[in-house]
Structure 1
Amino acid sequence: MTRIVQSLAEISAPYDALFVDLWGCVHDGVAALPDAVAALQAYRKTGGKVVLLTNSPRPRASVEIQLKGFGVPTDAWDTIATSGDSARAAMFEGIVGDKVYFMGTEEEKAAFFKPLHLLHNPHEITTVPLEEAEGIVCCGAPDAQAEPEVNRPTFLSAKARGLKLLCANPDIVVDRGDRREYCAGALAALYTEMGGESLYFGKPHAPIYDLARRRLAELDPNIPDTRVLAIGDGIHTDIQGAIGENIDCLFITGGLAAAETATKTQPDPQLLDNYLAKHSLSPTYSIGFLR
């Protein structure tokens, strides 16, 4: 059974590092969450390391610029691991072919296809129309407000040709302020449901945790998983992923699960238990908001 806590400081002493989700925890898609920023700043002053672990399809340099725009100060974190970087590495290794059909915004496209210098012999990737593609790269929907179903005709054609879909962001939805938007994960889920093959690189899947460990090792190579606490508001991304990696986790109930857990400042204990039982997951700790 999860333990409801009042603050990060209440439980942070046994942990040398945090893997912290961004959207819904540190910012709301519009601006930084001041209490969360203050909690991370205080944790870092004790010597703890903060790895921002995000399912953003953007490279980490692009996420850093975005964070600055949201008002998240640089002294609240140490490094960033993104689903986008994990997926980009796989793309430049040719996992879905060299000619790809891209799904997402023009801004996402510009960032995702920037050269990746970590690989010795990256493939030369070009974007082409669907009928010429060897695979699909999905960073999101061009219209995040549209139901994923509008992509069914595209996916029927792709499935008939046996194309694999690389999903750069496994999140299903996010809340931008008070507006809910669909992510690449919703499209990938539809493609899988239709019988297509989707490849995932963000939470809850292993590749992004491997990347987060590498980023952490650059800061301190001697921190084991038992000294890491993962923090997030996505039950099937942040929490499922942490549990799958045997990493302790703190569930932020005031994000995506705010309505189901009746979170205003803290979750309703019985509704929280019901929610966790429904999803068959039990985070180590829970709190209304990161503070």
Structure 2
Amino acid sequence: MSINLLNISHKNLSLGASLELFPDIAKYLDGASFEAFMRTQKGVKRVAAQALQARLCNCEKIVTDHDLRRYKKISGKDLVGEVYSLRIANTYKEEMQKLLKNLSKIRTLEFAGFLSEEAFSAPSDLEGLVLDIVPDFDSKWATLVKEKCPKLQSFVLKGAFTSDEHLFAHLPSSLKRLVLEYQSDITAQMVSHMPEHLTALTFEADQENLAELMGAIRDRLLQLKELVMPNYLDVKDGWLHNLPVTLQTLSIGNFFKLTAERIQLIRQQCPSIQYLYSVEDGMRLPKKLKYSENLI
């Protein structure tokens, strides 16, 4: 028996206190990979630090919502081994450099909370990066990401970004997946500078210029297979004529009803389409359409 997921999230119960209450948990952490979620307000206690430190060679993901400096027994020098994914918050440059020095196999890194340019650091072979709260993401930030992560495959930006026409030109050319969660107007000119090898794109669509925007996506992203537009869409069907021919997955936001006529048009424009998702009125969760059997 082994534990694959250890989640201690109660605000008054630290991971260390949990291991004191349930001492048998510690012995099961050794074995298969596990995820250690450290989201408590009190930090990791001595017992937890000792238990985790002895078993980190099997840990693939560590998640913490706290300043790493609070974890006296489990700071950067203790985090070693097979850690592939890390989420950290309120990180300082010195602590981050220590951390990354020991995590030689880290592949995905998520910064939760505010992050300054000075504190940002990442291994050069990083494959996945998530940025939460940064000052308006601009060309300087994009250049910094490219310099630090030249081999980046996936980039998720949760915060605001500027409307600089050349913004996306500064991102790593190796990018395959780009997720822009913040609602901000993206112009056709901005799309024309996106990394051309993108296979997946998520963004909040501009309704007024959606047809022009989709045309720019079609002309620029010749390998695009997945397109997600989660926001409210109440537009006419003209943009559907500009869908990329390479699309296999299309997810459309609230109140845009995929009628039989629209589905037929999508099939004509995207012969490789396999999955269509829509959002029912008043709901925010995607629902796979019953029409999907006709698309495969």
Q: Which has the higher contact order (CA 8 A, sep 6+)?
A: 1
Larger-gyration structure (1/2)? 2
Q: What is the TM-score of this pair, normalised by structure 1?
A: 0.25
Larger relative helix fraction:
1
Q: What is the TM-score of this pair, normalised by structure 2?
A: 0.25
